[in-house]
Chain A
Amino acid sequence: MSKLIPFINFTSKKLQLRFVFTLFLVIFLIALATGAGMAQEGAESAKTTEAAETTAEGKTAAAEPEPEPYEVVDYRNFFGIDGRLIVWIISELHLMFAAFVLAVPIFVVIIEMIGVKSGDIRFDNLAREFTKLLSAAFATTASLGGLLAFALYGLYPAFMRYMTDVFHPYMFIYALCFFGEVFCLYGYYYSWDLLSRTPKGKWFHISIGVMLNLFGTALMMLANSWATFMMAPGGINMETGTVTSLYHAFYNFLWMPVNIHRIIANVAFGGFVVGAYAAVKFMGSRTDEERAHYDWMGYIGNFIGLGALIPLPFAGYYLGREIYMASPVMGNIMMGGAFSWTFIVQAILIGMLFIGGNYYLWNGMSRIKGAERYTPYIKYINIVIFFCFAVWLTPHNLPLSGEERALIGEQYHPFSKFFGVMAAKNAVVNLLILSTFFSFLLYRRANKGETKPFSSHGSAARITLIITAGLTVMYLAWYALGLRGLEMEENILRYVSPLVTCLVIQIISIVIAILLTFANKGKIAQSFLFVVTTVMAVIYFWYYGFVVMEKANLVLRFLSVTQVSIVISCLIVNTVIDVFLFKDAKEVGGIQWGKIPHRSQYALLLLCVAIVTLMGLMGFIRSGLRMNWHIYGYMQDTSAGAFTPSIAYMGWTVSLIVILFLALVAFVFWLAGLADKKKKHA
């Protein structure tokens, strides 16, 4: 027992100092807050009922006679700080932590399953290592959630009164799910040893993990519905606010798109956080063994993160489309109005994610023997990715000086004319995704040599391949038929037929690719599919997007969906082909875990910071789109904080949130690490 002491050394001067300082800080802050709070407590409030009755004119309270009547307050501020800022920070932190406790179990369960399937003990250990983090993170999330609820009820009483009126039944469900989540989480963690003895027990354990994820997802979806209700209210009378259909208020128009977007993003987020954890550990590790372990962990984190990142733009695009659909005005604010510049910032961050992810893969290839065969491709991928990034960044409205405007002679420079519009951006995003996917495939095969003939994988492989390809083809055909059946004016309908043709070409190429794979020409099949997809979805649709924009704007939305469908179908089919192509293939040299340059670890860190920042930014956009409405179109925000903050202000706030979050996460990791150290030395 005496060996324990050095590790939580309560006699250590440093630790004591730290404790004393923390305690001091806490007391100081409390004193400060109460002091300010006392002064504020009696402060004049923004609005009285009387003022509300006299409609538009008065926001300030009327002169009241001496005995002060009970006032119904609509807004309060937080000890002198604008309530909105407080709610912004707390809710974003809560959201990030919630994403963390939702993402980590998803990650952990996937890893555990891989571990059981592959029989590799490393996966099980990794899963366990991260489950340990959960309990501390979970408690933090819950505290932040409580804080958020109190902040909302305290600072926005009128708004929350209404929200409670509408959603109170779901609030109870929320609480119930929370119980489920708690029991599953602790059950999952504490039963690890108990259940890992037998395979049956292991699967039972995994099913607890799945339950945990289901509860977590349910919680997220419940909370999402409140947030999306604020953006696109449904099921209420927009004049009086009476609830006409609770179901529609809950299943409101933006609910599903946000759910999908958030779930996928959560997986990416979980992966990148794990990657960053591994990166920090890797850089600090002293032995080769540790280095190998953390290198491998970083690789797994990055793998899962990138895997989720690839479909994320599609989900985001879907969400954006639905926002346009819910309210074209909101859509215009988003893409053409006050928020258009935030999307340039977003483009930078996503660019960082894609470049960081690729950079890590490329660096990772240096630890693989046999990767030299593929390194020459890196140049071209690099050029393509940076080109895409450049196009993506090019704004449609460019800051021009008077001379430049005079020289150009028209409103738009060709660069912004050809690169700045949706048609171009869609094309490059798809190209970006395709090339990242290409990098990924190269990485996967870097280690692999001679492949086995397809027939050797048996009929299971054949059936899987056919089913996957069949589903993809069915989806494409379904969409093509949908396009055919569109009821539109003849002159517009003309522009739809090329889309149908492209879909048909893609279906044919998928079939050809499958046949080629069966004929043991898997690599050719993959390249063939890549080339066809790139030519159609990127090059042709870029050009055709402009044609459509000029002649039949209405078709543009079908064009984007077609483009996305084609790219996704290519990704799916190529992945499946790849899985079987390199199944049991000869290894060229093996991976030397731990032999990765330090630089690449910064790429992992970058990925984590970028995705956290991105979440902060997108949270701002999603919330800010409502402009000065609490509930878009029904309840207006009449508080002083209703203004849309400048991007710089947003930048500082989001930076603060990101730093706070990362610091808290680091603290949680440190806490979880304490127990570990104890064990090793005991």
Chain B
Amino acid sequence: MRSFLNAVIFTLAVVGFFAYVCIYVTNLSGGSGGGGATGVSPEAGEKIFWGDGQCHTCHSIGTSGSATRGPNQEGLASRAEEKAKATGLGSGLEYMVESIVNPSSFVVEGYDDIMPKVFAPPIMLDREKILAVLTYLQTLGGEPDIDAVIKFKDKIPEASKTKVVPWVPPIEVDLKEGELIFFDDTRDVTCSKCHVINGKGAKVGPDLTGIGAVQTPQYLIESVLKPSAVIVKGFETMYLMTNDGMAYNGLLVSQDEEEVVLMIDEEGEMVEYVFYPDEIAQMQKQDVSIMPGNLSEMLTTKEFYGIISFLLSQK
């Protein structure tokens, strides 16, 4: 029995050595483990960030971690403050809450909209853990403020264990307001200048009547924020270069042997241009949508979700 015990101890020592080497190597090559704390505290949040939350799968922080799928979160708090100002949110914290509650709402430029909802399966962080991560995120380029974080408690959905939840906008919005914005042509950007709903509006882009019945909220959000991600067939931008070297980008209205008609955006107005085949040097389909790509900057979050809710109500 003693010899067996010795063998077990020896085996455990060898396996332990192996595990140690692995950890040593990991530390050498970047990436680290977390501490040991619970509750809503930056320490607990850090642990979750590098552990349960699997945030480190996509995000690294400074030189820790090696993931590159999502943005590096070093100095996040200060950046969030800036972003919040740019998007009309109250605080950087609100921006972070938004980004976690609805990851698709703000996608950092250069990254794909791949972030999952951490409160949904398969990650399923409960509310307290998300709050803890928020406090940790605050420490990245800022000071943690646990009380402020706790205030957002109700904004964060409880880890969902039911089947598909109907989509609710992450903040309270009024879909009437969304409708107003959609048709408000006093603004720099008006949806109805290019989209039709129930016969109202101009027919430049796809008709949005009944869109809520066929599209998911995620799709709509993406289409507004990143118009070029999916371009509805027939609405691709055409790039046209004339013999005298002028380049035009616009929607193809019609094309036949005698003339090519493009709808071109001229300082906010859609103007039809007619080209004759002999003056066209080059014509090419683009994979960039003509729809403005900066809507996220032109709309406040509230307005944005208002529009989305309005569109979803179009069934």
Do A and B touch directly, given a CB cutoff of 8 Å in the complex?
A: yes
Contacts from A to B (Cβ < 8 Å): 39-40, 42-46, 50-51, 54-64, 68, 75, 77, 80, 82-83, 276, 279-280, 283-284, 338, 341-342, 344-345, 348-349, 399, 602, 605-606, 609-610, 613, 639-641, 643, 646-648, 650-652, 654-655, 658-659, 662
Q: Could you tell me if B3 and A50 are in contact, using CB atoms closer than 8 angstroms? A: no
The 8 Å CB contact of A613, one of B15, B123, B167, is B15
Nearest CB of B to A405, in Å = 15
The 8 Å CB contact of B28, one of A58, A399, A641, is A399
When chains A and B are docked, how far (Å) is the Cα of A596 from the Cα of B209?
Answer: 88
Q: Could you tell me if A655 and B164 are in contact, using CB atoms closer than 8 angstroms? A: no
Hey, which chain B residues are within 8 Å of A46, CB to CB? Answer: 121-122
Nearest CB of B to A614, in Å = 9
Q: When A59-B116, A651-B19 are in contact, do A42 and B3 touch as well, CB less than 8 Å?
A: no
Q: Could you tell me if B161 and A68 are in contact, using CB atoms closer than 8 angstroms? A: no
Q: Could you tell me if B29 and A341 are in contact, using CB atoms closer than 8 angstroms? A: yes
Chain A residue with the shortest CB-CB distance to B104: A57
Hey, which chain B residues are within 8 Å of A658, CB to CB? Answer: 15, 18
Most buried by A among B161, B218, B229: B218
Q: Could you tell me if A62 and B18 are in contact, using CB atoms closer than 8 angstroms? A: no
Chain B residue with the shortest CB-CB distance to A395: B28
Chain B residue with the shortest CB-CB distance to A610: B14
B108 proximal to A (CB < 8 A): no
Q: When A50-B216, A63-B166, A646-B31 are in contact, do A654 and B7 touch as well, CB less than 8 Å?
A: no
When chains A and B are docked, how far (Å) is the Cα of A610 from the Cα of B17?
Answer: 11
Q: When A63-B164, A345-B22 are in contact, do A640 and B122 touch as well, CB less than 8 Å?
A: yes
Hey, which chain A residues are within 8 Å of B166, CB to CB? Answer: 63
The 8 Å CB contact of B162, one of A42, A83, A643, is A42
The 8 Å CB contact of A280, one of B4, B15, B160, B230, is B4
Contacts from B to A (Cβ < 8 Å): 1-4, 6-7, 10-12, 14-16, 18-23, 25-29, 31, 33, 54, 57-58, 66-67, 112-114, 116-117, 120-124, 160-167, 215-219, 222, 229-230
In order of increasing CB-CB distance, the 9 nearest A-B pairs are A651-B22, A283-B3, A284-B3, A648-B26, A643-B57, A62-B216, A58-B218, A63-B166, A651-B19
The 8 Å CB contact of A44, one of B4, B7, B120, B215, is B120
Hey, which chain A residues are within 8 Å of B28, CB to CB? Answer: 341, 399
Chain A residue with the shortest CB-CB distance to B20: A651
Q: Could you tell me if A605 and B19 are in contact, using CB atoms closer than 8 angstroms? A: no
Hey, which chain B residues are within 8 Å of A58, CB to CB? Answer: 216, 218-219
Q: Could you tell me if A43 and B12 are in contact, using CB atoms closer than 8 angstroms? A: no
Nearest CB of A to B118, in Å = 10
Hey, which chain B residues are within 8 Å of A44, CB to CB? Answer: 120-121, 160, 162-165
Q: When A43-B161, A606-B14 are in contact, do A63 and B216 touch as well, CB less than 8 Å?
A: yes
Q: List 28 A-B contacts (CB under 8 A).
A: A39-B161, A40-B121, A40-B161, A43-B124, A44-B163, A44-B164, A46-B121, A60-B218, A62-B164, A63-B165, A64-B163, A77-B121, A77-B122, A280-B3, A283-B6, A283-B7, A284-B2, A342-B25, A344-B25, A345-B21, A348-B21, A606-B14, A609-B11, A609-B14, A643-B67, A647-B29, A651-B19, A651-B26
Q: Could you tell me if A655 and B16 are in contact, using CB atoms closer than 8 angstroms? A: yes
Hey, which chain B residues are within 8 Å of A655, CB to CB? Answer: 15-16, 18-19
When chains A and B are docked, how far (Å) is the Cα of A338 from the Cα of B31?
Answer: 12
Most buried by A among B25, B26, B162, B215: B25
Chain B residue with the shortest CB-CB distance to A56: B229
Q: Could you tell me if B6 and A60 are in contact, using CB atoms closer than 8 angstroms? A: no
Nearest CB of B to A343, in Å = 10
When chains A and B are docked, how far (Å) is the Cα of A349 from the Cα of B16?
Answer: 13
Nearest CB of B to A116, in Å = 33
The 8 Å CB contact of B217, one of A56, A63, A80, A646, is A63
Hey, which chain B residues are within 8 Å of A341, CB to CB? Answer: 25-26, 28-29
Nearest CB of A to B15, in Å = 5
The 8 Å CB contact of B163, one of A68, A276, A641, A659, is A68
The 8 Å CB contact of A605, one of B11, B31, B114, B124, is B11
Nearest CB of A to B225, in Å = 11
Nearest CB of A to B51, in Å = 10
When chains A and B are docked, how far (Å) is the Cα of A279 from the Cα of B21?
Answer: 26
Chain B residue with the shortest CB-CB distance to A642: B57
When chains A and B are docked, how far (Å) is the Cα of A283 from the Cα of B23?
Answer: 32
Chain A residue with the shortest CB-CB distance to B167: A63
Hey, which chain A residues are within 8 Å of B6, CB to CB? Answer: 283
Q: When A43-B161, A60-B218 are in contact, do A613 and B122 touch as well, CB less than 8 Å?
A: no
The 8 Å CB contact of A662, one of B11, B19, B165, is B11
The 8 Å CB contact of B54, one of A50, A75, A283, A643, is A643
The 8 Å CB contact of B22, one of A39, A55, A610, A647, is A647
Q: Could you tell me if B33 and A648 are in contact, using CB atoms closer than 8 angstroms? A: yes
Q: Could you tell me if A42 and B11 are in contact, using CB atoms closer than 8 angstroms? A: no
Q: Could you tell me if B161 and A42 are in contact, using CB atoms closer than 8 angstroms? A: yes
Most buried by B among A62, A64, A646: A646
When chains A and B are docked, how far (Å) is the Cα of A399 from the Cα of B29?
Answer: 8
When chains A and B are docked, how far (Å) is the Cα of A279 from the Cα of B26?
Answer: 33
Q: Could you tell me if B116 and A640 are in contact, using CB atoms closer than 8 angstroms? A: yes
Chain A residue with the shortest CB-CB distance to B65: A646
Hey, which chain A residues are within 8 Å of B3, CB to CB? Answer: 280, 283-284
Chain B residue with the shortest CB-CB distance to A66: B166
Q: Could you tell me if B21 and A57 are in contact, using CB atoms closer than 8 angstroms? A: no
Chain B residue with the shortest CB-CB distance to A651: B22
Chain B residue with the shortest CB-CB distance to A338: B66
When chains A and B are docked, how far (Å) is the Cα of A77 from the Cα of B54?
Answer: 15
Hey, which chain A residues are within 8 Å of B27, CB to CB? Answer: 648
Q: Could you tell me if A80 and B124 are in contact, using CB atoms closer than 8 angstroms? A: yes
Nearest CB of B to A415, in Å = 16
Chain A residue with the shortest CB-CB distance to B226: A57
With A643-B58, A648-B33 given, name 11 new contacts (CB 8 A): A43-B163, A54-B216, A54-B230, A55-B230, A62-B217, A63-B166, A345-B25, A643-B67, A646-B26, A646-B31, A655-B15
Q: Could you tell me if A651 and B18 are in contact, using CB atoms closer than 8 angstroms? A: yes
Nearest CB of B to A86, in Å = 12
Most buried by A among B20, B57, B167: B57
Hey, which chain A residues are within 8 Å of B7, CB to CB? Answer: 276, 279-280, 283, 605
Q: Could you tell me if B222 and A57 are in contact, using CB atoms closer than 8 angstroms? A: yes
When chains A and B are docked, how far (Å) is the Cα of A311 from the Cα of B21?
Answer: 26
Nearest CB of B to A454, in Å = 45
Nearest CB of B to A25, in Å = 19
Q: Could you tell me if B15 and A51 are in contact, using CB atoms closer than 8 angstroms? A: no
When chains A and B are docked, how far (Å) is the Cα of A57 from the Cα of B225?
Answer: 12
Most buried by B among A279, A283, A609: A609
Hey, which chain B residues are within 8 Å of A648, CB to CB? Answer: 19, 22-23, 25-27, 31, 33
Q: When A639-B122, A647-B26, A648-B23 are in contact, do A60 and B116 touch as well, CB less than 8 Å?
A: yes
When chains A and B are docked, how far (Å) is the Cα of A63 from the Cα of B217?
Answer: 8
When chains A and B are docked, how far (Å) is the Cα of A399 from the Cα of B24?
Answer: 12
The 8 Å CB contact of B229, one of A57, A344, A641, A651, is A57
Hey, which chain B residues are within 8 Å of A50, CB to CB? Answer: 216
Most buried by B among A602, A639, A648: A648
When chains A and B are docked, how far (Å) is the Cα of A153 from the Cα of B262?
Answer: 53
Q: When A57-B218, A648-B33 are in contact, do A613 and B18 touch as well, CB less than 8 Å?
A: yes
When chains A and B are docked, how far (Å) is the Cα of A8 from the Cα of B225?
Answer: 72
Q: Could you tell me if B18 and A654 are in contact, using CB atoms closer than 8 angstroms? A: yes
Chain A residue with the shortest CB-CB distance to B58: A643
Most buried by B among A75, A284, A654: A284
When chains A and B are docked, how far (Å) is the Cα of A220 from the Cα of B204?
Answer: 61
When chains A and B are docked, how far (Å) is the Cα of A281 from the Cα of B211?
Answer: 75
Nearest CB of B to A180, in Å = 35
Chain B residue with the shortest CB-CB distance to A662: B11
Nearest CB of B to A556, in Å = 26
Chain A residue with the shortest CB-CB distance to B29: A341
When chains A and B are docked, how far (Å) is the Cα of A643 from the Cα of B215?
Answer: 29
Q: Could you tell me if B219 and A57 are in contact, using CB atoms closer than 8 angstroms? A: yes
When chains A and B are docked, how far (Å) is the Cα of A622 from the Cα of B180?
Answer: 57
Hey, which chain A residues are within 8 Å of B1, CB to CB? Answer: 284
When chains A and B are docked, how far (Å) is the Cα of A83 from the Cα of B219?
Answer: 28
